[in-house]
Amino acid sequence: MIVPTLLGITVIVFAISRIAPGDPVSSHISSRGEFDVKKTIDVRKERLKLYGLDKPIHIQYVNWLWRVTRLDFGQSVKHNRPVIKLIADRLPITLTLNLIALVFIYAISLPTGVLAAVKHGRFFDRAISVFFLVLWSLPIMWVGQMLIGYFAGPAFKSWFPPAGISSIYADRLSFFQWLFDRLWHLALPVVCLTYTGFAYLSKQVRAEMLENLSMDYVRTARAKGLPESAVIFRHVFRNSLVPVITITASLFPAVFAGSVIVEKIFSIPGMGLLMFEAVANRDYNVVMALATIAGILNMIALLLADIAYALADPRVTFEGNT
């Protein structure tokens, strides 16, 4: 099931790059070729041949795919380095940021969701629902910019640094100081990435818990004489966790895509910022590489979520779906 989807990702990315009007070569020659038309045509033909763009489209795809499997995404036009090296530099930063964000999202949503379900209908529940609805509607770029403006700039408070992931003098710090400096820099970006996530996840946890609270096996547990806390945690929560795991499958791509905006606002040298620059500079190789890798990462996350789901729910076997 994975291989066709991976192939499909490459097909889609490749198709987008080729459907577009114009070709990558025109931008190379336009500045020089106005005066000698014949020479322009010759140069153009040669360039096309150089990039393999004169072959039929399916051959182009196979060539590209073959190179991709060897992780050769070509050269970045702007940086003049192999794309894969660029990505390798940036990938760990984005992944760290995303993982920290995911951890925070889960750490906050699970307790709030459980509490909201247990105190269903009362003030806490209603207030949390309204609060999270508001949070969910807040646009990331607005929050990011406001955070920078009010908490990281000279205008208001200067509690956090406005950009980058380390201070300039970072390499002169001891390990713990360096770590603290890193975290201090990542604080605001993490806040930006998490708030939408935990508004969404908390709602789902609450909904699952509410549904499970009215199940018969909860009645059996109470009839055994179990204290209410054991009923909630050992029975309701444990059962609610199972579908919540599958939500990670949709949470990860959302957080990853959010990185683009957050990294741009906070100038964090990660994959998101690379994507932004590549699109702005029309660096096609980088764009295609990033789209493909984003797809692959997403698939890995989905796979992990599937495995976790199979482990958590004994009704699911490894062979197929329930």
Partner 1 sequence: MSENNSLLSVRNLSVSFFAEEGVVRAAHKVSFSIKTSQTFGLVGESGCGKSSVALSIMRLIPANQGQIVGGEIAFDGQNLLELSEKQMRRIRGNKIAIVFQEPTASLNPVYTVGDQIAEAIMLHKNKDKTQAWKAAVEMLRKVGIKEPQQRISQYPHQMSGGMQQRAIIAIATSCEPALLIADEPTTALDMIVQTQILNLLDELQKQTGMSILLITHDLGIAAERADEVAVMYASRIVEKADPRLLFSKPLHPYTEGLLKALPRLGQSTKRLETIPGTVAEPMYLPSGCKFHPRCRTGCHDKHCQTFEPELKEVEPARWVACWHAPGYQ
Partner 2 sequence: MGKQKEKKAIWGTTLGEFVQQQFVKRPINMVSLVCMALLALMAVIAPVLANNKPLMIRIEGKLHFPLFQNLSPADYCIFLAATVGFLLLLLIRRNHSNLEPSVRGAVLFRQLCLSCTIILIGSPLIFIFVPRRLEAADYKAMIAENKADYAVFAPIPYGYDRTDLMSRNLSPCRTHWLGTDDVGADVLCRLIHGSRTSLSVGLVAAGISTLIGIALGSIFGYFGGKVDFIGMRIVEMVMAIPTFFLIITFVAFFPRSLLSIIVIIGITTWTGTARLVRAEFLKLRKQDFIQAAVSLALPLRSTIFKHMLPNCIGPILVNAAFGFAGAIFAEAALSFLGFGVAPPTPSWGQMLSSGVTTTGRFLWWLTLFPGLAIFLTVMLCNLIGEGLRDAFDPRLKNAI
Contact residues: partner 2, CB under 8 A: 4-6, 8-9, 11-13, 16-17, 19-21, 120, 129, 133-134, 136-142, 145-146, 148-149, 153-155, 162, 203, 206-207, 210-211, 253-254, 256-258, 260-261, 264, 275-276, 278-280, 282, 284, 287-288, 290-291, 294-295, 298-299, 302
CB of 47 to partner 2, least distance (A): 18
As a whole number of Å, the end-to-end CA separation of the chain is 16
**How many residues belong to the site for partner 1 (CB under 8 A)?**
21
Find the DSSP H helices in 214-315: 216-223, 228-230, 238-266, 271-280, 284-312
DSSP annotation of 82 reads B
Judged by beta carbon, residue 62 or residue 215, the one nearer partner 1 is 215
Site membership for partner 1, residue 219 (CB under 8 A): yes
**Burial class, 36, CB count within 10 angstroms (exposed 0-12 / middle 13-18 / buried 19+):** exposed
CB of 312 to partner 1, least distance (A): 7
Judged by beta carbon, residue 168 or residue 223, the one nearer partner 1 is 223
Site membership for partner 1, residue 320 (CB under 8 A): no
Site membership for partner 1, residue 314 (CB under 8 A): yes
Tally of residues, the chain: 322
Site membership for partner 1, residue 216 (CB under 8 A): yes
Judged by beta carbon, residue 18 or residue 39, the one nearer partner 2 is 18
Measuring CA to CA, how many Å separate 190 from each of 3, 32, 255, 316?
33, 46, 10, 34
Site membership for partner 1, residue 319 (CB under 8 A): no
- Tell me how far apart the 2 most distant CA atoms of the chain are, in Å: 92
Site membership for partner 1, residue 229 (CB under 8 A): no
Judged by beta carbon, residue 121 or residue 320, the one nearer partner 1 is 121
Site membership for partner 1, residue 34 (CB under 8 A): no
CB of 131 to partner 2, least distance (A): 12
Judged by beta carbon, residue 239 or residue 259, the one nearer partner 1 is 239
User: How many Cβ atoms from other residues are within 10 Å of residue 98's Cβ?
Assistant: 23
**Burial class, 82, CB count within 10 angstroms (exposed 0-12 / middle 13-18 / buried 19+):** middle
Specify whether the CB–CB gap between 257 and 95 falls below 8 A: no
Site membership for partner 1, residue 56 (CB under 8 A): no
CB of 238 to partner 2, least distance (A): 19
Partner that binds at residue 217, options partner 1, partner 2, none, CB closer than 5 to 8 Å by kind: partner 1
CB of 259 to partner 2, least distance (A): 9
Q: Residues near 39 by Cβ (< 8 Å), separated by ≥ 6?
A: 33
Supply the DSSP string of 137-171, one letter for each residue.
HS-HHHHHHHHHHHHBSSSS-B-S-SS-SS-TTGG
Contact mark string toward partner 1, 294..313, x via CB under 8 A: ------------------xx
Q: 3-state SS of the chain: helix, strand, coil percent to 5?
A: 75, 0, 25
Q: Residues near 63 by Cβ (< 8 Å), separated by ≥ 6?
A: 52, 55
Partner that binds at residue 264, options partner 2, partner 1, none, CB closer than 5 to 8 Å by kind: partner 2
Q: Which residues are at the interface with partner 1 (CB under 8 A)?
A: 121, 215-217, 219-227, 235, 238-239, 242, 312-315
